[in-house]
Amino acid sequence: MAQTKTEAAGLMSNKMHNKPLQLLNDWLSVRLSKEQLSWFDTQLDKISRSNSDRELHITLGMIPRKLDRADLYLTTRELTAADCLATGWHPQNWSIDIAARVAVICHLADHRPDRFNETLIDLCRNADLAESIALYSGLPLYPQNSGLDELIGEGLRTNIRSVFEAIAHHSPYPANHFDDNRWNHMVLKALFIDSRLAPIYGLDKRANPELARILCDYANERRAAGRPVTHELWRCVGPFAKGDMIDDLALAVNSDNHTEKQAALLALSAAPDSRAQTIITEHSVIANQIASGTLTWDAIQQQENTGKAA
Amino acid sequence: MMFIDPHAHMISRTTDDYEAMAASGVVAVIEPAFWVGQPRTHVGTYIDYLSAIIGFERFRAGQFGIRHYCTVGLNSKEANNASLAEAVMEILPRFALKEGVVAIGEIGYDEQTELEDKYFRLQLELAKELELPVMIHTPHRDKKRGTSRSMDVCEEHGMDPGKIIVDHNNEETVREVLDRGYWAAFSIYPSTKMGNARMVEILAGYGAERIMVDSACDWGISEPLGVAKTAKLALERGIPKDQVEMVCYKNALAAYGQSGQMHEDDWLNPTAIDQRTMYEGNSILRGGREPVVQESAVKKNANNLIIE
C-alpha cells in the first residue's frame, strides 16, 4: 500500500512518543502476573529484532493462551485517560487479549513504520474472529493515515456484528475519518445487523441531510413490511426534518411504545420546521421533560439499559 | 443431555440444521477442514476456506447457541495436487494457532498414494511441533488396511495414540484401533458409513471407553442429528446413561480438549467477551429477547429415529 511522504513522516514522528503503547502497557502491567509480563516483553522484543513475520504471528496467536481473555474492567480514571489520548475512544468493553494484541500493533508502528499498513492488512486478512475484533478495535490508536481506508471498508462489509462494532462503536475513528457516504452506510448497516446507534461516537456531529433522508426511507420500508422501527434512528433525522419527514416523525410520536414516542418528540425538538413545535406542544409532559433537559438521548439510552438489566 | 458433534461440516449445512441440532441438545461442534466437493486449484481459495471455518462459521454457530471449533489440515484428496499441497503446507502453521483450532485434521489416506503419504507425515510432524491432537480420516476404499497403515505411520513418527482420533470406524476396524490405544470415532452417516442401530451394537460389545460418535454431516445426504439420534436409540436399547454420555459428549471433550482450545466452560460459563461477541446462547446479555431456538419452529426433529 503506497503512502505519501507526509504520511510516512507522520508514522516516523510517532516513534518518539508512542503514547498508546504506553497506556496499554500500563493497563496490562497492573493486571498480569510477572511471568505473563515477562513473556509479553520478550515477544515484543523478538518481533522488533526479527526480519520475518513469524514471531508476530506466533505472538498474536499465543496471546489468549499465555495472557488472559477476561475483561479489563477499566477504572473510571483509566477510561478518562483513554478519552484524553483519543477523544471519543471508550474501551470499556475491552478484554486483556484485545489490549495486548493492539499493543503489539502499536509496537509495530515504531519498529516497521514503512510496512505498517501492509502488515496490518495481511493480519486482518487471516484473522480469526477474536483477532479481527482486536485488530479493528485498535484503529483509533494506530498511526492515522488514509492507507487503511480499504481495509476498514472491508471490515464494515462484514455481517459479523461484533467485528462491525469493533470499528463502529466507542471509537472516534469513523467520525474523524469517514466521508459522508461511508458514514451514512455505516449507520444504516448498524440498523440492518441489529446493532445500536448510541455507541457510535459523533452521531450528532456527523448527522447530515442525506442520512436523514435514507433513514426515513428505511423507516417507511420497515413500516410497509409491518416490521418495528428502532427509535434510535430519529436522532439522526431530527435536525434535518422537514416536509414528509415531519409526517414520518409524527407517526412515531403516535406509537404505543413510550420510548419511541419520547425519541420522536426529542428528534422533533431539534427540527427546524415550525410544524415540529406544534406537534411537541400537544404532548406537554414529554415536552416539559425535553425543555427541562431531563429527557436527552443519553437519558433514553440509560433508561433502556436499566430496563434491560431488570 | 448435552451433546458434542466432533465431526460436522457446518459450512455445507443450513440454518435449519443448526436450529435442529441446538434443539436436540448439541452444545458444540467440531468442523474439520475437508474436501469441499469441487477441487481447489489455488492456495488462495484454501486460505479463504480456512478463514471461513475459523471466522464466519464460528459466528454463525454462535447465533444458535452452539460453540464452534475446527481442525485445520490438508485433506488426503487434495494432497495429490502437489503444487497446491506445498503452498497449503506453508500457510498451515499460521492457521493452526488460531482460536478454537482443536486439532490438525482431517488428514490421512484416500487412495493411499505417495503424495498422500508424504503430506500425511509432514502434518503429523506439524501436530507434534504444535502439540495439537490429530483427526485421522480413514479411507472409504481399502479401509481396513488404510486404517492399520495410518496407525503404523503415526507410530513411526512417535505420535502419542492418546492424542489421535481415528475417524470413520466400523465393525471391521474398531478392535485394532482400540487395542492400539487410539480414540475411535464413528460417523453416523447414512448409506456409506455407520448406521446408528449398528452403532448401538458396537457400544453393547465394546463399552464406551475411547469411543465417540459424530455425524460427519456435509454436502452429501447426511444427518446432522446423528449424535442426538444415536444417543436416544442407545438409551432405548438399554445402554447405560453414563456410557451414552461418554460417547456422545465426554470423550470428544477429553480428546480434543487436549488442544487447550476447548473447555466445558466455553458453553456452560462463557467469558464476558465471548458473550458479547460470538456466542449468543445462554447469554445473560440477551436482554429479554426470545431464545433463538424454539422447539416448535424446528422443521427437523429427533423423533425420526432410525438412520439407515
Q: What is the DSSP string of B184-197?
A: EEEEB-TTTSB-HH
Structure pTM?
0.88
**Between A and B, how many CB-CB pairs are < 8 A?**
62
Domain carrying residue A138: 1-202
Q: Are residues A48 and A178 in the same domain?
A: yes
Q: Which of A150, A179, A202 is the C-terminal boundary of a domain?
A: A202
Q: Are residues A156 and A107 in the same domain?
A: yes
Which residues, at least 6 apart from B271, have a Cβ–Cβ distance to it below 8 Å? Answer: A69, A70, A71, A95
Same domain, A65 and A106: yes
Residue of B nearest to A133 (CA): B277
Put simply, whether A194 touches B (Cβ < 8 Å) is no
A182 with A213, same domain: the answer is no
Among A202, A237, A267, give the residue marking a domain's end: A202
d(CA B208, CA A228): 51
B47: left (phi over 0), alpha (psi -120 to 50) or beta: alpha
Q: Are residues A93 and A220 in the same domain?
A: no
Pair (A258, A187) in one structural domain: no
Taking an 8 Å cut-off on Cβ atoms, the answer to whether B59 and A162 are in contact is: yes
Distance from CA of B218 to the nearest CA of A (A): 22
Residues A213, A164: one domain?
no
Please report, in angstroms and rounded to a whole number, the separation of the first and last CA atoms in chain A.
49
Number of domains in chain A: 2
Residues A59 and A157 both lie in one domain:
yes
Question: Is residue B40 a contact partner of residue B21, using CB atoms and an 8 Å limit?
Answer: no
- CA-to-CA distance for B66 and B59, rounded, in angstroms? 9
State whether A190 and A240 are in the same domain.
no
Nearest CA in chain B to A166: B277
User: Which site among B72, B273, B283, B290 would you substitute to test the A interface, given the most A Cβ atoms closer than 10 Å to its Cβ?
Assistant: B273
Sign of the alpha-carbon torsion through A126, A129, A134, A140? positive
Whether A146 and A233 map to the same domain: the answer is: no
Q: Which helix (H) or strand (E) holds B167?
A: strand B164-167
Residues from chain B that touch A230, judged by Cβ atoms under 8 A, are: none
Structural element, H or E, at residue B254: helix B251-257
Are residue A88 and residue A198 in the same domain, yes or no? yes
Altogether, the residues listed in chain A come to a count of 310
CA dihedral over B34, B45, A63, A50, signed as positive or negative:
positive
B21, B5 contact by CB (below 8 A): yes
Provide the shortest C-alpha distance from residue B108 to chain A (in Å): 25
A197 plus A226 within the same structural domain? no
Domains in chain B, please, with CATH?
Answer: 3-297 (3.20.20.140)
Instruction: With beta carbons less than 8 A apart as the criterion, state whether A7 and A146 touch.
Output: yes
* pLDDT in 10s for each residue of chain B, 308 residues: 999 999 999 999 999 999 999 999 999 999 999 999 999 999 999 999 999 999 999 999 999 999 999 999 999 999 999 999 999 999 999 999 999 999 999 999 999 999 999 999 999 999 999 999 999 999 999 999 999 999 999 999 999 999 999 999 999 999 999 999 999 999 999 988 899 999 999 999 999 999 999 999 999 999 999 999 999 999 999 999 999 999 999 999 999 999 999 999 999 988 888 888 877 654 333 333 344 454 445 556 677 788 77
Out of A202, A235, A270, pick the residue that ends a domain.
A202
In sequence order, the 6+-apart residues with CB closer than 8 A to the CB of A304 are A259
Cell numbers at residue B121, please?
507425515
| A44 burial level (CB within 10 Å; 0-12, 13-18, 19+) | buried
The C-alpha atoms of residue A96 and residue B251 are separated, in whole angstroms, by 31
Enter the C-alpha cell of residue A159: 455481517
**ipTM (interface predicted TM):** 0.84
Whether residue B277 lies within 8 A of chain A, CB to CB, comes out as: yes
Of B97, B260, B278, the CB nearest to A162: B278
- Distance between B93 CA and the closest CA of chain A, angstroms: 9
